Structure 1
Amino acid sequence: MSTKATPASAVDGESEVMASIDDAPDGERVVIADVTTDDAWLAMPLRDASSLSDWR
């Protein structure tokens, strides 16, 4: 996974971001990806992710 960040001003509005919960050998993981860009994703253990109610 690349560690390069793209400034918000450089985004052209044509991206599509999706999230999923995937099984992994070490437990479930949350994966968030921009499916319109190669290698633009991140993953974290589900136990470390905030719930929607935590964000409110």
Structure 2
Amino acid sequence: MRRADHRASFSDGSEGSTCVEVAATPTTLHLRESDIPDTRLTTTPSAVAQLLAGIRSGALGS
């Protein structure tokens, strides 16, 4: 299955070399930084949802 990377709406703009790109399949998310395209983080939507919930609730703060 071919994935299409989508660039984050928030990036440094001009060169486009410092932004996060996301590609999704039905069961996984593939994240990478555009300046290191050969390195990808693969995770699940559930894990990202749990991370975001922890950040929003302050549970991950120091």
TM-score, with normalisation over the residues of structure 1?
0.44
Could you say which structure has the higher strand fraction?
1
Higher RCO (CA 8 Å, separation ≥ 6 residues): 1
TM-score, with normalisation over the residues of structure 2?
0.41
